[in-house]
């Protein structure tokens, strides 16, 4: 019997403009796992509950996603699709941290840190963000957690 793998989808949506020191195009990224289910007709893929929404800055986010192996679909309505669990968690944490940081130099430091994180730390922080999102469905809670994540992991110094 073949093993069924989860797929992961990140929908890129419109975001209201914000003031940042560096002018960049930004959007909202919604993280959605796609779960395989065996049915009498074969295997069907079903969208699961959203795991969070983060403000991201393009094109840095897209380039990082491509480096992690995500496929970019669409021209106007972008969607990222991938199957690697750890790549998804790395992209998820990168997006959560990116929404707090405003400078490209800080994004590069975050990118390096996320790429070097151990699987246990990846799973812990991702679960923390997901649980906060499912409980409150409020991006402000995620912003607070993102600041804590960046400080505890030593990405930024206070």
At residue 114 the predicted structure's pLDDT band, cuts being 50, 70 and 90, is very high
**The model scores a pTM over 0.85:** yes
Distance of alpha carbon 19 from alpha carbon 17, whole angstroms: 7
Q: What average pLDDT score do residues 3-12 get? A: 92
Distance of alpha carbon 87 from alpha carbon 114, whole angstroms: 10
**pLDDT tens by residue, 43-74:** 899 999 999 999 999 999 999 999 999 999 99
Q: What is the mean pLDDT of the chain?
A: 93
Q: Say yes or no to pLDDT of 156 above 90.
A: no
Which residues, 6 or more positions from 94, have their beta carbon under 8 angstroms from its beta carbon? 61, 64, 110, 111, 114
């Amino acid at each position: 019997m073949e093993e069924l793998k989860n797929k992961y989808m990140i929908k890129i949506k419109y975001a209201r403009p914000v003031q940042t020191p560096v002018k960049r195009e930004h959007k909202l990224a919604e993280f959605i796992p796609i779960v395989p289910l065996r049915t009498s007709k074969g295997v069907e893929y079903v969208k699961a509950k959203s795991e969070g929404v983060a403000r991201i800055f393009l094109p840095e986010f897209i380039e990082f996603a491509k480096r992690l192996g995500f496929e970019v679909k669409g021209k106007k309505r972008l969607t990222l699709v991938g199957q690697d669990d750890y790549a998804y968690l790395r992209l998820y944490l990168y997006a959560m941290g990116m929404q707090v940081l405003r400078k490209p130099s800080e994004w590069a430091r975050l990118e390096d840190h996320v790429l070097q994180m151990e699987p246990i730390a990846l799973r812990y922080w991702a679960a923390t963000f997901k649980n906060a999102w499912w409980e409150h469905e409020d991006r402000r809670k995620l912003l607070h957690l993102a600041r804590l994540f960046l400080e505890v992991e030593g990405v930024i110094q206070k």
